[in-house]
Amino acid sequence: MNFSFWWIVTYYFRSAVKWFLRKTTGLCELQRICYGEIRGPQRTHAIERSLSLSKHKHIQQLILQLNDISGKEEFLGSQKKQVLHDAVRAVLLAKQINPRIHRQFVINMGQCIEHIWGYKQLISEVERLRTTQYDCDNIEHETQLYNLWRMLKPDEELEGRITKQWQNIGFQGEDPKTDFRGMGLLGLENLVFFATFYCSAAQHVLTHSYHPQHGYCFAIVGINLTSLAWTLLKEGCAKSYVYNNIENEISLKMFHHFYCYLFYEFDRFWMECRPKDIMEFSNIKSKFEYNIRNYLKDPNNDFRIGVTVHNI
């Protein structure tokens, strides 16, 4: 009831309210958001919503163009600067805003556009990796697989490419290549990043995976968490995580960090649940997913991996 009421208000009376506010404040909605909301997820979310609801032809065209550029992963480097400059100019023209008076708007709007389409580009980038199948004839893929072993098991030599040792880091059989499945190269790159960048945290989690009762398969669970991270990114739930990282440029690395956060938190949750055996995985994973989705709803939450872990 409440929902439908607000839906009607936003749908039918939005224009009227906007017109009224524009007349009384002398500012358009985008300006009101840029000046009124604090920097970070709140502001970016509000700008994104306002742009997507815009009925202005030029704004709609701008959105399509930016979608196209980010979909082709061309929102990079010097080109990105130019695109951002042009995009903000288009908004200024469409909304008849004087950039000399509203300097702060130019800066804030640019940041928001950078975040919104940086996120969309990240989805394309991640999707490209996910749909790249692991190929054992590709030297780069194989090198990454060996790197994963070296980072997780620095004191143990691999006896060969096809060996039961892979099961020690949680693959299913003697050859990991069939375990990446629908997550493709993304699953491998996530694992390698976790083992390399958060070396001590990954070792800490790997040790848990050997627990006689609560143990699990490190790599297989890792690949299932790649699937979770990818789903959250694709559905837009990871926006609060990404938009919170205002100091860093949005890149694949950010997705890897998000994945590492999920893996570390999942391991903690799993150990807290004290499962009887691995057969409880889907149940515990569903609960974990529910908690994470809720946690991601609050943009003020902190998504860093526990500081203590770095020192273990």
Q: Can residue 303 be called a binding residue for other proteins (CB under 8 A)?
A: no
Q: Give phi and psi for 224, each to the nearest 5.
A: -65, -30
Q: What are the distances in angstroms from CA 86 to CA 25, 68, 91, 125, 229?
A: 27, 15, 9, 23, 32
Of 54 and 209, the one with the shorter C-beta distance to other proteins is 209
Would you list the DSSP string of 224-236?
HHHHHHHHHHHTT
Of 53 and 136, the one with the shorter C-beta distance to other proteins is 136
Of 183 and 242, the one with the shorter C-beta distance to other proteins is 183
Q: Tell whether the torsion through CA atoms of 267, 273, 278 and 280 is positive or negative.
A: negative
Q: Give buried/exposed letters for 242-256 (b at 16+ CB in 10 A, else e).
A: bbbbeeeebebebbb
Of 279 and 307, the one with the shorter C-beta distance to other proteins is 279
Q: Which of 217, 232, 260, 292 binds other proteins (CB under 8 A)?
A: 217
Of 230 and 241, the one with the shorter C-beta distance to other proteins is 230
- The pair of three-digit structure tokens given for residue 68, joined into one six-digit string: 């196209």
Kindly identify the residues of this chain, within the stretch 149-178, that bind other proteins according to CB under 8 A. Answer: 167, 172-173, 178
Q: Which of 42, 65, 168, 227 binds other proteins (CB under 8 A)?
A: 227
Kindly identify the residues of this chain, within the stretch 187-206, that bind other proteins according to CB under 8 A. Answer: 187
Q: How far is the CB of 288 from other proteins (least distance, A)?
A: 13
Kindly identify the residues of this chain, within the stretch 75-134, that bind other proteins according to CB under 8 A. Answer: 130-131
Q: Can residue 63 be called a binding residue for other proteins (CB under 8 A)?
A: no
Interface residues toward other proteins, by CB under 8 A: 130-131, 167, 172-173, 178-179, 181-183, 187, 216-217, 220-221, 223-224, 226-227, 230, 277-283
